[in-house]
Chain A
Amino acid sequence: MSRSLIVHRAGPGVTVQDLGRAGYLAFGLSRGGAADQLAIYEGAALLGQSETLAVLELAGMGGEFEASEDMRIALTGGRMRAQIDGEKVAWNASHRLVKGQRLSIGASEAGCYGYLHIGGGIATPEVLGARSGHQAAGIGTPLVSGQRMEIGEDARGETGMTLAPDARFNGGTVRIVKSLQTDFFAPTEIARFEASEFRRDTRGNRMGVRVLPDGQGFISDAGLSVLSEVIVPGDIQITGDGTPFVLLCECQTTGGYPRIGSVLPADLPKVAQAQPGTSLRFSFVSLAQAVDIERREKARRSALRSKVEPLIRDPRFIPDLLSYQLVGGMTAGDEFEKDKT
Chain B
Amino acid sequence: MSDNWPLIRTAGTDGFLVSFGDSLSETANRAALAFRGALEAVNWEEVEECSTSLVSTYVRFDPLAVDHAALEEKLVALLQTCDWYDAALPKGRRLWRVPTVFGGTAGPQLDEAAKAAGMTTAEAIASISNTRVRVQTIGFAPGMPYLGQLPAAWDIPRQTELTAKVPAAGLCVAIRQLVLFPVSAPTGWRHIGQTALKLFRPDTNEPFLLRPGDEVRFHSVSTEELAGFKGDPNGGASCEVLP
Known: A22-B49, A25-B49. A137 touches B200 (CB 8 A): yes
A318 within 8 A of B: no
Residue of B nearest to A21 (CB): B202
Residue of B nearest to A265 (CB): B13
In the bound complex, how far is the Cα of B51 from the Cα of A198, in angstroms? Answer: 33
Pairwise interchain contact B13-A230, C-beta atoms closer than 8 A: no
In the bound complex, how far is the Cα of B14 from the Cα of A177, in angstroms? Answer: 11
Pairwise interchain contact B53-A229, C-beta atoms closer than 8 A: yes
**Tally of contact residues, B, Cβ under 8 A:** 45
In the bound complex, how far is the Cα of B67 from the Cα of A23, in angstroms? Answer: 21
- B-contact bits for A234-251, CB 8 A (1 contact / 0 none): 110000000000000000
- Chain B residues contacting A22 (CB-CB under 8 Å) are 48-49
Contacting A at CB under 8 A, from B200-240, are 200, 202-203, 207-208, 211-212
In the bound complex, how far is the Cα of B68 from the Cα of A178, in angstroms? Answer: 14
Pairwise interchain contact B11-A228, C-beta atoms closer than 8 A: no
Stretch from B78-86, B119-127, B137-145, B148-156 that touches the partner: B137-145
**Tally of contact residues, A, Cβ under 8 A:** 39
A324 within 8 A of B: no
Pairwise interchain contact A229-B17, C-beta atoms closer than 8 A: yes
Residue of B nearest to A264 (CB): B13
- A-contact bits for B140-178, CB 8 A (1 contact / 0 none): 111110100000000000000000000000000000000
B75 within 8 A of A: no
Residue of B nearest to A138 (CB): B183
Known: A227-B54, A262-B11. A291 touches B142 (CB 8 A): no
B156 to A: closest C-beta gap in Å? 15
A108 within 8 A of B: no
- Chain B residues contacting A177 (CB-CB under 8 Å) are 10, 12-13
A294 within 8 A of B: yes
Residue of A nearest to B48 (CB): A22
Pairwise interchain contact B50-A26, C-beta atoms closer than 8 A: yes
Pairwise interchain contact B13-A138, C-beta atoms closer than 8 A: no
- A-contact bits for B95-107, CB 8 A (1 contact / 0 none): 0000000000000
A258 to B: closest C-beta gap in Å? 12
In the bound complex, how far is the Cα of B63 from the Cα of A291, in angstroms? Answer: 7
Residue of A nearest to B208 (CB): A27
- Chain A residues contacting B26 (CB-CB under 8 Å) are none
A136 interface neighbour in B15, B50, B141, Cβ under 8 Å = B141
Contacting B at CB under 8 A, from A178-236, are 178-180, 227-230, 232-235
Contacting A at CB under 8 A, from B44-89, are 48-56, 58, 60, 63-64, 67-68
A174 within 8 A of B: no
Residue of A nearest to B137 (CB): A254
B21 to A: closest C-beta gap in Å? 8
A227 interface neighbour in B49, B55, B138, Cβ under 8 Å = B55
In the bound complex, how far is the Cα of B11 from the Cα of A290, in angstroms? Answer: 13
B2 within 8 A of A: no
Pairwise interchain contact B17-A291, C-beta atoms closer than 8 A: no
Pairwise interchain contact A235-B53, C-beta atoms closer than 8 A: no
In the bound complex, how far is the Cα of B168 from the Cα of A155, in angstroms? Answer: 45
- Chain A residues contacting B12 (CB-CB under 8 Å) are 177, 179, 232-235, 262, 265
A304 to B: closest C-beta gap in Å? 17
Residue of A nearest to B21 (CB): A227
Known: A137-B200, A229-B17. A27 touches B143 (CB 8 A): yes
A28 interface neighbour in B22, B49, B60, B143, Cβ under 8 Å = B143
Residue of B nearest to A25 (CB): B51
- Chain A residues contacting B13 (CB-CB under 8 Å) are 177, 234, 262, 264-265, 287, 290-291, 294
Listed residue (A24, A139, A233, A254) with the most chain B CB atoms within 10 angstroms of its CB: A254
In the bound complex, how far is the Cα of B67 from the Cα of A25, in angstroms? Answer: 22
A303 within 8 A of B: no
- Chain A residues contacting B91 (CB-CB under 8 Å) are none
A164 within 8 A of B: no
For the complex of A and B, list the 4 residue pairs with the smallest distance between their C-beta atoms, beginning with the closest: A254-B139, A26-B51, A25-B51, A180-B9
Hey, which bits of chain B sit against chain A, CB under 8 A? Answer: 9-15, 17, 19, 22-24, 36, 48-56, 58, 60, 63-64, 67-68, 137-144, 146, 183, 200, 202-203, 207-208, 211-212
Hey, which bits of chain A sit against chain B, CB under 8 A? Answer: 22-29, 127-128, 136-139, 177-180, 227-230, 232-235, 252-255, 262, 264-265, 287, 290-291, 294-295, 298
Identify 12 residue pairs between A and B in the complex whose beta-carbon atoms are under 8 Å apart, listed by A's number: A24-B208, A25-B49, A26-B36, A27-B211, A228-B139, A229-B19, A230-B11, A232-B60, A262-B11, A264-B13, A265-B13, A287-B13
